[in-house]
Chain A
Amino acid sequence: DVKVTQSSRYLVKRTGEKVFLECVQDMDHENMFWYRQDPGLGLRLIYFSYDVKMKEKGDIPEGYSVSREKKERFSLILESASTNQTSMYLCASSFRSSGLFYEQYFGPGTRLTVT
């Protein structure tokens, strides 16, 4: 079974703090994704990585950065947390093959509250 784990299920941070969300997958997937999930908006892609040290901006990258130093680990960084970043954050991973879309496997999510 594919397993994607996220460092925290619940997190409460103060405005202005630097926040690190960690994601680890154990299936040797090339692709890793960070989404945020808000009611009525579905999933919105923050950043995507297709290889170690490679990253691409998604639809809403402002206020976020990412790091992928090892294939199995993908970190999301909130440089200076703001209240509008209160949300559920989901990490996902998938295989990568030219021209093919493999299903993504998701972690349990981190519910972040910024006060």
Chain B
Amino acid sequence: AQSVAQPEDQVNVAEGNPLTVKCTYSVSGNPYLFWYVQYPNRGLQFLLKYITGDNLVKGSYGFEAEFNKSQTSFHLKKPSALVSDSALYFCAVSRRADSNYQLIWGAGTKLIIKP
């Protein structure tokens, strides 16, 4: 069965330290990979996506993500965390090409950045 796993419900990081939010997937073929962020009381916002090419993808707000095909992972990273990065982060993966553009979503990881 196709699935996306975000193994950590919550990640705590001190401000200024690097952060990583993990995502692994089990989807056939060569899926597209996405990260979204949800700030408190707001809708989801697109952060970045991987389609093909360079395994390191850069996105909004200084975030980047590393695609690893052999480990079927797409971890979100930032070199220096800000308190304002505290939010709920979702990883999403495209289903098969015949699925009319639907995504499979992870359960979300709450990121808490402490001053």
Contacts and interface: CB of A to CB of B under 8 A. Distances in A.
Contacts of B4: 42
Interface in B69-107: 90, 92, 94, 97, 100-103, 105-107
Across chains A and B, which 3 residue pairs bring their CB atoms closest together, nearest first? A106-B43, A101-B32, A42-B105
Given A42-B107, A50-B101, 19 more contacts: A4-B43, A31-B100, A40-B9, A41-B107, A42-B90, A42-B108, A43-B44, A43-B92, A48-B102, A58-B102, A90-B44, A92-B44, A96-B101, A101-B32, A101-B49, A101-B51, A101-B101, A103-B49, A104-B44
Interface of B: 4, 9, 32, 34, 36, 42-46, 49, 51, 90, 92, 94, 97, 100-103, 105-108
The listed residue with most A CB atoms (<10 A of its CB), out of B43, B90, B100, B107, is B43
Contacts of B90: 42-43
A45 B92 CA distance: 12
A40 B100 CA distance: 26
B102 A45 contact: yes
Question: Which range contains the number of A residues in contact with the other chain?
Answer: 20 to 34
- Which of B32, B46, B101 has most chain A Cβ within 10 Å? B101
Interface string A74-115: 000000000000000010101010010111111111000000
Contacts of A90: 43-44
A17 interface: no
Contacts of B45: 106
A108 B100 contact: no
Contacts of A108: 42-43
